[in-house]
Amino acid sequence: MMSRDDFFRKELVAELRRVELSMRREEKVEKKIYYLSAAYGITSRTLRYSFTEDYLLADFVLNTTYNGLMERYKRIRSGDATVELQPIHFERIQDGLKMLADAFESGDSILLSLEQILAAMYATTGPGNYLREKGLLKL
């Protein structure tokens, strides 16, 4: 019989994989960001029923990533074109989501996947983009 924790981890992994695939299939930036919101939605629900520090950390990073991308998207829509949302940002986030699902499924460390997701979002901020232009932040 599957334990409660195993059940919630399995649901988390399935939803992260669904989010990643939905983002990959979508071409519109705003829909990619919309799908990303489901990633922190599932981590938030999961940690309420089966708490671990990994779920909490993943929730924090995914929520921060969503909010950062939304902030950049709103700035772009208001006419601020200093930093554009580029396909590479989403590719790295999508790759990070796949890595995160794999890590949760296998019990491996989630740190590398979260670092990739967070770095991709940070590259969409003014300071992050500047570091990317200088070659210090690589995507």
Which pTM does this prediction carry? Answer: 0.95
Helices (DSSP H) in the chain: which residue ranges? 4-25, 29-49, 53-77, 87-106, 111-122, 126-134
Place of tokens 């950062």: 68
What integer pLDDT is reported at residue 8 of this predicted model? 94
The conformational region for residue 3 under phi > 0 = left, psi -120 to 50 = alpha, else beta, is beta
Q: What is the mean pLDDT of the chain?
A: 97
Q: Would you state the structure tokens that stand for residue 3, as one six-digit string?
A: 């334990």
What integer pLDDT is reported at residue 65 of this predicted model? 98
Overall average pLDDT of the 113-139 stretch: 97
Whether the pLDDT of residue 2 is over 80: the answer is no
Give percent of the chain above pLDDT 90. Answer: 97
What integer pLDDT is reported at residue 116 of this predicted model? 98
- pLDDT tens for 6-24 read 999 999 999 999 999 999 9
What integer pLDDT is reported at residue 4 of this predicted model? 86
> What residue segments make up the domains of the chain, in order of their start?
4-134
What integer pLDDT is reported at residue 40 of this predicted model? 96
